[in-house]
């Protein structure tokens, strides 16, 4: 993998990680287009640059994380379904589902869902005064929605935002809970992936990894800011249209 490919993949990761359009799906599709071979370094690189995106959320929501233990408990409960299913399904998902066909199909189906429930997302009033007061049950069910996103192309952000809406959160709260839940989820998933793929890197590969992490941090920080503004003004349906168009294009390309 060269520097140009490193920059492109890192920008894609940063932009798409917290948007409801599937970062994993975009990474798989981009790697396929650029004919990047999935060697040990590339697999680890695609995992490691997620750390940059995670740090962007920690930076943006530092005050929220420092307000008390309540939010940590709710996030821990929400993470349970994904953690349990991930342990048992990790090998199957990595072996059989990480391919352009699955990604494209998931993008299309997820896009249809976003369009169908856009009006509900935009108009719904919250049943919770502040995010920290979300019930343990609702936090757990949002976590169940998130577990579906282990299928490449579904999008963790889309699954948790939809889960938040269906569990009584308004649009802003659903976005914030999705962002916050990304931190423990991605930390554990990234750590587990790195543990499963131990490898020794050259100096050049370490440089590419560090470069990718920095780029992912910057682009994720910008993307989250822009995403919140777009959702406030236009809702989620345009992300649904984008997913459908992208999924169809890649279905045609891979045949």
Residue range 193-218, pLDDT digits in tens: 777 776 677 888 889 989 999 999 99
Q: Can you tell me the mean pLDDT for 226-249?
A: 90
Cα torsion through 14, 94, 28, 176, rounded to 10: -30
The stretch 138-152 carries a mean pLDDT of: 94
The stretch 126-153 carries a mean pLDDT of 90
Tell the residue number behind the tokens 């952000």, with chain if given. 157
Query: Could you identify the residue written with the tokens 């935002």?
Result: 161
State the pLDDT confidence band at 132, using cuts at 50, 70 and 90: confident
In this structure, of 68-72, 140-144, 241-245, the range with the lowest mean pLDDT score is 68-72
pLDDT 10s digits, 26-62: 888 888 889 888 777 888 888 889 889 999 999 999 9
pLDDT at 122 over 70: no
CA distances in angstroms from 70 to 77, 102, 178, 180, 208, listed in the order given: 11, 37, 16, 13, 38
DSSP string covering 65-106: HTS-SHHHHHHHHHHHHHHHHHHHHHHHIIIII-SHHHHHHH
pLDDT at 115 over 80: yes
Q: Is the pLDDT confidence value at 114 over 80?
A: yes
Confidence of residue 234 (pLDDT cuts 50, 70, 90): confident
pLDDT at 123 (0 to 100):
66
In the chain, the N- to C-terminal Cα span, in Å, equals 25
Q: What mean pLDDT value characterizes the chain?
A: 88
Q: What is the pLDDT of residue 198?
A: 66
In angstroms, the CA 33 to CA 35 distance is: 5
> What average pLDDT score do residues 143-162 get?
92
**Which pLDDT does position 100 carry in this prediction?**
80
pLDDT for residue 86:
84
Domain ranges of the chain: 3-254
Q: Which stretch of 166-170, 175-179, 239-243 has the lowest confidence by average pLDDT? A: 166-170
Task: Say whether pLDDT at 15 is over 90.
Answer: yes
Rounded Cα distance, 47 and 98, in Å: 14
User: pLDDT-based confidence at 131, cuts 50/70/90?
Assistant: confident
pLDDT above 70 as % of the chain: 96
Residues, the chain: 255
pLDDT on residue 255: 59
pLDDT score of 28: 80
What's the rounded mean pLDDT across residues 219-230? 93
Please check the confidence at residue 144 and state whether its pLDDT lies above 90: yes
Are 181 and 142 in contact by the 8 Å Cβ rule? The answer is yes
């Amino acid at each position: 993998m060269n520097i140009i490919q490193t920059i492109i993949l890192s920008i894609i990761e940063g932009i798409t990680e917290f948007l409801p359009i599937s970062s994993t799906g975009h990474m798989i599709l981009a790697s396929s287009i650029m004919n990047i071979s999935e060697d040990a370094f590339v697999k680890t690189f695609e995992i490691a640059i997620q750390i940059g995106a995670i740090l962007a959320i920690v930076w943006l929501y530092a005050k929220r994380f420092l307000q008390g233990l309540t939010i940590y408990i709710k996030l821990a409960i929400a993470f349970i379904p994904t953690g349990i299913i991930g342990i048992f399904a990790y090998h199957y998902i990595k072996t059989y589902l990480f391919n352009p066909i699955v990604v494209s199909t998931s993008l299309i189906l997820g896009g249809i869902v976003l369009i169908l429930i856009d009006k509900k997302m935009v108009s719904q009033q919250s049943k919770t005064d502040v995010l920290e007061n979300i019930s343990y049950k609702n936090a757990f069910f949002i976590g169940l929605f998130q577990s579906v996103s282990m299928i490449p192309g579904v999008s963790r952000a889309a699954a948790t935002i939809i889960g938040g809406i269906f569990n009584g959160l308004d649009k802003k709260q659903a976005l914030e809970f999705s962002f916050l839940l990304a931190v423990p989820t991605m930390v554990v998933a990234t750590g587990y992936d790195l543990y499963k793929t131990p490898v020794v890197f050259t100096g050049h590969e370490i440089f590419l990894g560090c470069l990718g992490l920095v780029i992912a941090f910057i682009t994720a920080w910008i993307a989250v800011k822009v995403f919140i503004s777009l959702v406030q003004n236009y809702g989620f349906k345009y992300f649904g249209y984008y997913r459908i168009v992208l999924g169809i294009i890649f279905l045609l390309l891979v045949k």
